[in-house]
């Protein structure tokens, strides 16, 4: 089932912080975060696994709340380059089923 992302869109000034949430109606096994700039392909940011394991870019921060079936992506001290659409993709099983992506959160960072 498709995860729900919130907010749908956010506008920040450079240097401000933002949090993007991703919620699932089923128990989560893993959450993936990608960023897509306009007209480009999605780019991998991070994977968070049930049990606490993470892999991804060091400058990206995210959390995985198993009980709430939710993940949050933290964007701190935002830069202009952070602008884009952020997608979370979830896996509800460790048996390798494909990811279901949310509809995305559009982030615009202004000078």
Partner 1 sequence: DSGVTQTPKHLITATGQRVTLRCSPRSGDLSVYWYQQSLDQGLQFLIQYYNGEERAKGNILERFSAQQFPDLHSELNLSSLELGDSALYFCASSPEGDSSYNEQFFGPGTRLTVL
Question: Could you tell me the smallest distance in angstroms from the CB atom of residue 40 to partner 1?
Answer: 8
* Residue 27 binds partner 1, judged by CB under 8 A: no
Question: Which range binds partner 1 by CB under 8 A, 9-17, 34-42, 58-66, 70-78?
Answer: 34-42
* Residue 49 binds partner 1, judged by CB under 8 A: yes
Considering only CA atoms, which of 60, 67, 75, 83 is closest in space to residue 20? 75
Question: Could you tell me the smallest distance in angstroms from the CB atom of residue 19 to partner 1?
Answer: 19
Query: Cα-flanking dihedrals φ and ψ of residue 31, to 5°?
Result: -130, 130
Binding mask 90-109 for partner 1 (x = CB under 8 A): -x-xxxxxxxxxxxx-----
Question: Could you tell me the smallest distance in angstroms from the CB atom of residue 30 to partner 1?
Answer: 5
Cis peptide bond prior to 96, omega within 30° of 0: no
Q: Which of 30, 70, 71, 72 binds partner 1 (CB under 8 A)?
A: 30
CA 2 vs CA 5, 28, 31, 38, 104: distances in Å: 9, 12, 12, 22, 11
Q: Yes or no: say if 90 and 50 are a contact pair by the CB < 8 Å rule.
A: no
CA distance linking residue 101 with residue 71, whole number of Å: 13
Q: Which residues bind partner 1 (CB under 8 A)?
A: 2, 29-30, 32, 34, 40-44, 47, 49, 55-56, 87, 89, 91, 93-104
């Amino acid at each position: 089932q498709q995860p729900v992302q919130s907010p749908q869109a956010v506008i920040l000034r450079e240097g401000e912080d933002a949090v993007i949430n991703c919620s699932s109606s089923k128990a989560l096994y893993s959450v993936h975060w990608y960023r897509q700039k306009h007209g480009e392909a999605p780019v991998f940011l991070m994977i968070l696994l049930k049990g606490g394991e993470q892999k991804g870019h060091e400058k990206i921060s995210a959390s995985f709340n198993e009980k709430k079936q939710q993940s949050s992506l933290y964007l701190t001290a935002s830069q202009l380059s952070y602008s884009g659409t952020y997608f979370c993709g979830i896996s509800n099983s460790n048996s390798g089923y494909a990811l279901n992506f949310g509809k995305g959160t559009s982030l615009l960072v202004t000078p």
